[in-house]
Structures are given as C-alpha cells and as structure tokens.
Amino acid sequence: MYAALSSQPDGTVLVTTLDDEGSTIGQPQIVDGRSLPAAVAGLEPQHPRWVWDDTSRWYSALLDAGVRVERCVDLRLSHAILRRSELTAASELAGLPLSSWDRGAIESVEVAAGDVLFDLDRPMESAAEDPLEEFRMQRKAIASATDPGRIGLLLAAESAGALVAAEMQFAGLPWRADLHDEILASNLGPRPKPGQRPVLLEEVLERVREAFDAPELNPDSPAELLKALSRAGIVVTSTRSWELKKIEHPGIPPLLEYKKLARLLSANGWQWLDVNVRGGRFYPDYVPGGVVTGRWASKGGGGALQLPKQVRAAVVADDGWKLVVADASQLEPRILAALSGDRGMAEAGRSKDMYAAIVASGAVATRDQAKVAMLGAMYGATTGESGRLMPKLTRAYPQAIALVEMAARAGERGEIVTTRLGRSSPLPGEGWREIQGDAYGEAATDADQKRARSQARGWGRFTRNFVVQGSAAEWALCWMATVRHGLNEMAGTAWLTDAPHLVFFMHDELVVHCPADVAAEVERTLRDSAAQAGRLMFGELPVEFPLSVAIVDNYGQAK
DNA sequence: TCGTGTCGCGCC
DNA sequence: AAAGGGCGCGACACGA
C-alpha cells in the first residue's frame, strides 16, 4: 500500500491511500499542517510506502514532531533516475519536457524591457504538478522497464537513503567542541583574536619566510609562492603539496607544514566549530543523489563528506554509548569483480585482502602494484606505473578489463553507460559534441583533431569510472537501507535517538551510535547487511564484501 | 564591493 | 614516484 502526501494551495495536506498502480483507495483525508504528524503516525501501523515530492522537506518536519516512517518513495529522486535510465528510455516519463520534478530544472524565458528582449534562465516554478499524477507516471515507467526488478530496487534504495539522510541530520553526529578546541590548540596554538594568526601557525610562517628570504611572503597565494620559489631556484609549475614534496630545499618542510596547518584552520578551525556544532552535535547537510554517479553530496560549510582524519577524535560517543564504525574494504575493486563476473578477479574478490590475492595469483609483483593497477583500471590511467601495469592486469583479468574498456569506448563515442541497478550517465554537453563534429569537418586542423581526441578520452574516463563508482554507490545504498531496517528491529518501539541509530555516512563507511551493551549486536547487523547488499545486487555471486569494524569511544580510534 | 573563475586540498 | 574518476569549500585573483 502507498500513501501520498500532497500540498494544497490553501496550506492543507491531502493524504491519499493508493494501490500498486496508483489507483485511489477510499476517500482522501484533508489535514492541516499541525495534525499531519498524527495522521501519518495513525497510518504507519499499516506499513504504507509514503509517497512525497521531497523527503528532506516532509520527513524532517515529521521527525521534529516525533514521527518516524518505515518506507517512502521520493518522487524527485526517483524521477531523476527514471528520466535518464537506459532501462526506462522508452517510457512516457522519459519523453516529457523538463518540469519541477527535475531538480535544478531551468526554463529559458524572454523578458521584454522597453524595446529590448532579454533571454533569461530562471528556475521552474515548483510544486505545480500533482504528486499523484507523477507517481502513476513513475509506476508505469517501472512496469514497462526492461528489468523492473533492478530499477525497482534502485528506487527503493535511493528513497531509503533519503530517509537515512533525514534521520542522520535529525540525530546529528556526537561532537565534543572542547576536544576539537584542544586539537586545534595543540596544532595551531590557542584561539587567536579575530584577524590574527594562531601563534604556532605564525611561527611556521616565519620559518618559511626566512628560508626563502621573503619577509612579506603570503604562502596562501599561489602566485606569490611561485615567485618566491623561483627566486630560490626552484622550478615548479604549480604549488601542490605532492609536487613540492619532491624538492630538496630547507624551506620546503616548513612550507608543507604551513599548508597543512593553514588548511586545518580554514576548513575545520574555530569558525567551523562555531557554525556547525551546537549542543554537542554536528549537523551535516547531506544531499542524496547529489553526485551524477549516485553518490551523496553535502552542502553548507559542514563538509560532512570531507571530514578530515585530524579532527575525528572530537567525535565521541555519549556516556555509556559506543560508536560502531564500519568500512567496506576495497569496495570498488570488488564491485568491478562482481559487475564483470571475471572469474579470476572474483576469486581474488573472495579474499579478505583482495590486493594480496591479486599478488598471490601472480598478476603483479607487489600489493602496492595491485592497488595502483586496479585504481588505474577504474580511473583510466595511461601513463606512470599505473599505466604500465595495465597490460599485466588485462592478461590476468580479461573480462574485468573489457568491462571498463567498453564503458570508456562508449563514453568516447558520446554514448551513455549504466550501472548495475540502472542509473545511466548523462550525455556529454553541447560543447563536447561541437568539438567532436569540428574534428571531422573539411577545415579540421591537426589541433582540432588532437583536442577532440583529448576531450573524447576525458569523457571516456568519466564513463569508465561511472559504472564502477555508481554501482558502488548502489551497493552502499542497499547496505545502508538494510542496516537501517536491522537497527529498527533492534530498537522496537524506542525513539530514534534512544536506540542504536546511524549517525554518519561517507561513501563506503557507516557509523552507528548505540548503547555499549548492544555494540556487538550492531556489528553483526552491519556485517550481515553488507552480505545482504551483495546478494541484492548480484545474487549469489562469489564475491565477498567484508567490513572492517571498530567499536570505539571516539571516531579517531577507528583506523 | 560584489560575483565569478582558478587553485589547492580534504574526503572517497 | 605519479596521475587516472567523483565531489565541496575557502582563499586568492580579477573584472565589473
């Protein structure tokens, strides 16, 4: 059973129960905003799938009112997938013009000002369309898909992810501002007055200035820094750390130290603490489906998905509680093995340490080479050691390499590629097509062709990575959804934050905050769910998805 | 003074 | 030792 929420122009909400095809069951209920949580809670015992345009909008308000739901359909996230998916390309939905169901959709409008017409891009009006209509359209698209099971699983996982995002945002990540302050003070010195540099940063800066004999140097300015380096006889094309590390000069160590400290200060310093942490919690702003590949993005200064290891010791479980930190080991290579069905690579993928198993199979000589070679295969490396290892990898795992090569060739031709569950890549932009077209024209120069080849290869690297990164993101969604279900079972009737609950997600890593006495049970749930995610996506496939799990008091203790 | 583009770097 | 994919953000640089 489904239950749809739609906003009415007068501010009331229509609650409509629906069957699988989207036909209305019984009489819709009209409720005002205040009584909506009670209405939702009243229907929840029937386990409906809640249908709404935007989970972060509806569910955040419900959570604030103390109401949780089990399942939902996030129409906007689903729409984005269905519109682009190769599996539903023939559907009516895929052929519709852009509307408010397409996030970030813009329409071009002509605005007259006196005699002049201006072409403006403006956002589409939102919520103009009826969610019930959209829901029926989506059900039809799914039913007519080339593989309804796959796309259906993807949409369910995507929507479950949206529920998790809202719940994690509601609960917040336990954060000890006093410990964060200690970390900053030990690295940078005590918090300075506004506009001043912390003392330890100032000291390192002085050492840099002395070493380069540049008393006014501001190393934050790449242009200035480049000049100072060249005066010291150092020739570099950029001021990136990994480039500077190669250089022997007494000024380089303090410069690298300065960059590290300056980064800590500007990205996760006292300002960050003031803005992002309140009442002992950090409230990240997740954006499910925010990345083309299906990965989540984050917005706002929090930078949840870039939380540096330096400050993780400030993430501390409440008294009597633990953090269970679980990380899917070597997820992307395992995904590639499972996707391609390559027997040799799947064999390696059954091992706890896939890279060691690749070495053991004789494909490459060292574990480091195995890692670099696999990364190169998934990212499209052509040069360096990674590029040199490709022929060896191809010999050892022909099917796996063929899969990523085919994805790359498709991208180079300007075609789309699709993940395991049916998320398809975008088409390259108009500019890209023009460049390709120019290279075949009468007047094409060598430079035109070179540019076109380089652009084509670039898009090929994107599509090559898309299938692996996107399928890995799907695995993570299946894992997360299953974990959430398992934790709910454990919680019984207890409220979200009074029982084991998810507090953090970062691509292939989950953190659960739970009472200490159930931490071991939570670990089992995490591990079982990882295995279940593998089965959901690949059936009984001979690839393992092992986790490294740490039960800790603070996040910094997890490796 | 503002908005926009680039660089560099954190995470996966 | 080094260069392939995806992000967000802060600081700087520059032009309006």
- Residues A354, A359, A363, A368, CA torsion sign: positive
Closest CA to A36 of A10, A52, A13, A18: A13
pLDDT at A512: 97
**What is the DSSP track for A498-528?**
GS-EEEEE-SSEEEEEEEGGGHHHHHHHHHH
The answer to whether A134 CB is within 7 Å of strand B is no
Q: What is the pLDDT of residues A46-60, one digit of tens each?
A: 999 999 999 999 999
The answer to whether A238 CB is within 7 Å of strand B is yes
Q: Phi/psi of residue A297, each to 5°?
A: -115, 175
pLDDT at A200: 95
Q: What is the pLDDT of residues A10-40, one digit of tens each?
A: 999 999 999 988 899 989 999 998 999 999 9
pLDDT at A125: 46
Q: What is the DSSP letter of A213?
A: T
The answer to whether A462 CB is within 7 Å of strand C is yes
Residues A492, A4: Cα–Cα separation, whole Å? 25
Residue type, A213: D
Q: What is the pLDDT of residues A360-392, one digit of tens each?
A: 999 999 999 999 999 999 999 888 888 899 999
| pTM of the entire predicted model | 0.94
Q: Among all strands, which nt has the closest C1' to A220 (CA)?
A: C11
Which residue's alpha carbon is at the shortest distance from the C1' of C11? A220
Please say if the pLDDT value at position A114 is more than 50. no
pLDDT at A119: 41
Q: How far is the CA of A135 from the C1' of C10 (A)?
A: 41
Q: What is the pLDDT of residues A267-282, one digit of tens each?
A: 999 999 999 999 999 9
Please say if the pLDDT value at position A550 is more than 90. yes
Q: Which two tokens stand for residue A444?
A: 């094409």
Residue with the two structure tokens 């089990």 = A70
Q: What is the pLDDT of residues A312-352, one digit of tens each?
A: 999 999 999 999 999 999 999 999 999 999 999 999 999 99
Q: What is the pLDDT of residues A423-481, one digit of tens each?
A: 999 999 888 998 898 888 888 888 888 889 999 999 999 999 999 999 999 999 999 99
- Which positions 365-424 on chain A have a beta carbon less than 7 angstroms from any atom of strand C? 368-369, 372, 375-376, 379-386
Residues A8, A187: Cα–Cα separation, whole Å? 54
Closest CA to A264 of A360, A200, A351, A178: A200
The answer to whether A49 CB is within 7 Å of strand B is no
- Which positions 38-97 on chain A have a beta carbon less than 7 angstroms from any atom of strand C? none
pLDDT at A390: 92
pLDDT at A301: 65
The percent of residues above 90 in pLDDT, for chain A, comes to 79
pLDDT band at residue A354 under the 50/70/90 scheme: very high
Which domains occur in chain A, in start order? 2-106+128-171 (no CATH), 178-273 (no CATH), 284-330+474-557 (3.30.70.370), 341-463 (no CATH)
The answer to whether A240 CB is within 7 Å of strand B is yes
Q: What is the DSSP letter of A22?
A: -
Please say if the pLDDT value at position A189 is more than 90. yes
Q: What is the pLDDT of residues A507-517, one digit of tens each?
A: 999 999 999 99
Please say if the pLDDT value at position A195 is more than 90. no
pLDDT band at residue A77 under the 50/70/90 scheme: very high
Please say if the pLDDT value at position A116 is more than 80. no
pLDDT band at residue A102 under the 50/70/90 scheme: confident
pLDDT at A207: 95
Q: What is the mean pLDDT of chain A?
A: 92
Please say if the pLDDT value at position A127 is more than 90. no
The answer to whether A207 CB is within 7 Å of strand B is no
Please say if the pLDDT value at position A176 is more than 90. yes
**CB-contacted nucleotides of strand B (7 Å):** 7-12
Q: Among all strands, which nt has the closest C1' to A245 (CA)?
A: C1
pLDDT at A235: 86
Q: How far is the CA of A278 from the C1' of C11 (A)?
A: 26
Number of helices followed by number of strands (H, E) in chain A:
21, 16
Q: Which two tokens stand for residue A304?
A: 């949840």
- A104-108, A244-248, A467-471 — most confident range: A467-471
Which residue's alpha carbon is at the shortest distance from the C1' of C2? A384
Q: How far is the CA of A276 from the C1' of B7 (A)?
A: 26
Question: Across-strand partners of A278?
Answer: A281
Closest CA to A413 of A457, A370, A365: A457
Q: What is the pLDDT of residues A478-536, one digit of tens each?
A: 999 999 999 999 999 999 999 999 999 999 999 999 999 999 999 999 999 999 999 99
pLDDT band at residue A105 under the 50/70/90 scheme: low
Residues A372, A390: Cα–Cα separation, whole Å? 10
Q: Among all strands, which nt has the closest C1' to A384 (CA)?
A: C2
Q: How far is the CA of A12 from the C1' of B3 (A)?
A: 40
pLDDT band at residue A104 under the 50/70/90 scheme: low
SS3 for A107-164, per residue?
EEEEEEECCEEEEEEEECCCCCCCHHHHHHHHHHHHHCCCCHHHHHHHHHHHHHHHHH
**CB-contacted nucleotides of strand C (7 Å):** 1-14
pLDDT band at residue A128 under the 50/70/90 scheme: low
**Distances, alpha carbon A178 to alpha carbons A147, A262, A306, A319, in Å:** 52, 20, 21, 16
Greater confidence, A196 or A175?
A: A175
pLDDT at A117: 40
